[in-house]
């Protein structure tokens, strides 16, 4: 059971048998921490087209922060038409041989690809976010500003985090099938026409959700229990920030090494508007059209031999049945040393307010 890329030339990474060992970092104000990082090479993989970023300005900010005595770094720029996966693999292999770290500079799709390679080969990951939503970086408390995120590479600590897999393909934020694949296709079309802005993405998503998709039957095995459901979408998330935005109560009960599963029942257009508004204000708990549960593993199948799955915003074609798993503490990521990465209430509240306004406006426009 494997996933083959549809939208981009990407491939799956295998789940490690056990968490790989990573270089332990100490706090940002420790001279020992700085000394260790200075002895480590830093390779930055920059996706020049992520999130409408100006690649030259972005690169200058990163270079300025990393250009300090004793720091060895290089920047590998991914341009349109190049083999992202092969370049990424070679970069991670070099870091593996030298004991260096690899930094993904781009959106969630870019970070997903590099993270999969780092997890597979046991290399520490750094992140400089440059996408539209940047859920993964925000969940870990990594700054959105390129300069601040680059500075963190020299002052942060390495933390082992859990990651999700669907048929051997890593996901850091979510994996979904059904209606969400239609949402992503339409979102990319709208972004190509109107620009890669958050409001465009939110508006496109709302319009796609209101138009709906034909319901289908899905069988899910969770532990010893078999669930048979008629649904339009199955959405799986292992990102605490994203789960909290959907349902605060579910977020509270989802363990660090678990994932939240949302099963959407068929709805009318009016019920979908109501559901979207409730979701915007994080009030989805006990909604009659949304079934939720938490688990660390489950299998699912439909009547089709292949399923188009959205993995961290990228559509991949997976052979059925689908197997979802959590690999506990399998990936080392550089995070702020002074921040508890499991709890960012201010960031969650602030972003929920922003997204709520966008969803409410898009819902009014669509109806």
Query: What tens digit of pLDDT does each residue of 200-222 get?
Result: 666 666 666 666 668 999 999 99
* pLDDT in the model for residue 183: 73
Whole-angstrom distance, CA of residue 80 vs CA of residue 83: 9
Angle (CA) 218-221-224 rounded to 5° is 150
114 vs 52, more confident: 114
**Furthest-apart CA pair in the chain: how many Å?**
61
Q: Mean pLDDT over all residues of the chain?
A: 78
Task: Tell me the per-residue pLDDT of 51-78, one tens digit each, with 9 for 90 and over.
Answer: 666 888 999 999 999 999 889 999 999 8
Per-residue pLDDT of 139-157, as tens digits, reads 999 999 999 999 999 999 9
33 pLDDT above the threshold of 60: no
SS3 per residue for the chain: CCEEECCCCCCCCCCCCCCCCCCCCCCCCCHHHHHHHHCCCEEEEEECCHHHCCHHHHHHHHHHHHCCCCCCEEEEEECCCCCHHHHHHHHHHHHHHHCCEEEEEECHHHHHHHHHHHHHHCCCEEEEECCCCCHHHHHCCCCCCHHHHHHHHHHCEEEEEEEEEECCEEECCEEEEEHHHHHHHHHHHHHHHHCCCHHHHHHHHHHHHHHCCCCEEEEEEECCEEEEEEECEEEEECCHHHHHHHEHHHHHHCCCCCEEEEEECCCCHHHHHHHHHHHHCCECCCCCCEEEEEECEEEEECCCCEEEEEECCEEEEEECCEEEEEEEEEEEEEECCCCCCCCCHHHHHHHHHHHHHHHHHHHHHHC
Distances (CA, A) of 354 to 3, 180, 322, 351, 358: 34, 21, 34, 5, 7
Mean pLDDT of 109-123: 95
CB atoms within 10 A of CB 194: 13
User: Among all chains, which residue has been given the structure tokens 């092969």?
Assistant: 86
Report residue 343's pLDDT band, with 50, 70 and 90 as the boundaries.
Answer: very low
Confidence at residue 361, expressed as pLDDT on a 0 to 100 scale: 46
Distance, CA of 86 to chain centre: 21
- Per-residue tokens: 195: 């620009």
CATH architecture of 170-326+357-366: Sandwich (2.60)
Q: 104-120 in b/e burial notation, b at 16+ Cβ within 10 A?
A: bbbbbbbbbbbbbbbbb
Question: Span 30-42, mean pLDDT?
Answer: 55
Model confidence band, residue 30 (pLDDT cutoffs 50, 70, 90): very low
d(CA 113, CA 204): 25
Domain 7-167+330-342 sits in CATH 3.40.47.10: no
The pTM of the full predicted model, rounded to 2 decimals, is 0.76
* More reliable by pLDDT, 326 or 40: 326
Q: Is 192 buried (19+), middle (13-18) or exposed (0-12) by CB count in 10 A?
A: exposed
73-78 and 42-47 as β-strands: parallel, antiparallel, unpaired? Answer: parallel
Question: What are the extents of the domains in the chain?
Answer: 7-167+330-342, 170-326+357-366
Q: Is the pLDDT of residue 7 over 70?
A: no
pLDDT band at 186 (very low <50, low <70, confident <90, very high): low
Q: How confident is the model at residue 167 (pLDDT cuts 50, 70, 90)?
A: very high
């Amino acid at each position: 059971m494997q996933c083959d890329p549809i939208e981009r030339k990407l491939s799956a990474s295998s789940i490690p048998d056990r968490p790989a060992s990573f270089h332990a970092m100490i706090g940002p104000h420790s001279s020992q921490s700085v000394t260790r990082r200075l002895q480590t090479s830093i390779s930055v993989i920059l996706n020049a087209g992520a999130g409408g970023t100006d690649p030259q300005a972005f690169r200058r900010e990163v270079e300025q922060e990393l250009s300090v005595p004793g720091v060895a770094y290089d920047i590998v720029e991914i341009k349109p038409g190049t083999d992202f996966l092969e370049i990424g693999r070679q970069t991670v292999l070099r870091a593996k041989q030298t004991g260096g770290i690899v930094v993904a500079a781009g959106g969630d799709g870019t970070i997903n690809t590099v993270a999969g390679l780092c997890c597979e080969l046991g290399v520490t990951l750094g992140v400089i976010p440059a996408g539209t939503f940047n859920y993964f970086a925000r969940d870990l408390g990594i700054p959105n500003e390129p300069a601040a995120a680059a500075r963190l590479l020299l002052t942060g600590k390495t933390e082992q985090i859990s990651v999700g897999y669907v048929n051997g393909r890593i996901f850091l934020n979510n994996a979904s099938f059904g209606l969400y694949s239609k949402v992503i296709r339409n979102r990319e079309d709208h972004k190509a026409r109107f620009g890669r802005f958050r409001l465009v993405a939110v508006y496109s998503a709302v319009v796609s959700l209101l138009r709906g998709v034909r319901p289908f039957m899905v069988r899910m095995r969770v532990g010893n229990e078999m669930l048979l459901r008629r649904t339009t979408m199955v959405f799986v998330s292992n990102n605490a920030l994203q789960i909290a935005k959907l349902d605060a109560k579910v977020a509270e009960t989802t363990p660090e090494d678990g994932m939240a599963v949302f099963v959407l029942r068929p709805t009318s257009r009016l019920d979908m508007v109501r559901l979207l508004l409730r979701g915007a204000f994080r009030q989805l708990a006990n909604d009659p059209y949304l079934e939720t549960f938490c688990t660390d593993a489950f299998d699912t199948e439909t009547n089709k031999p292949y399923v188009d799955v959205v993995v961290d915003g990228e559509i991949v074609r997976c052979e059925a049945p689908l197997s979802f798993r959590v690999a506990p503490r399998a990936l080392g990521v550089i995070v702020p040393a002074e921040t508890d990465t499991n709890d960012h209430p201010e960031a969650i509240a602030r972003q929920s307010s922003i997204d709520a306004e966008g969803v409410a406006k898009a819902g009014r426009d669509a109806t």
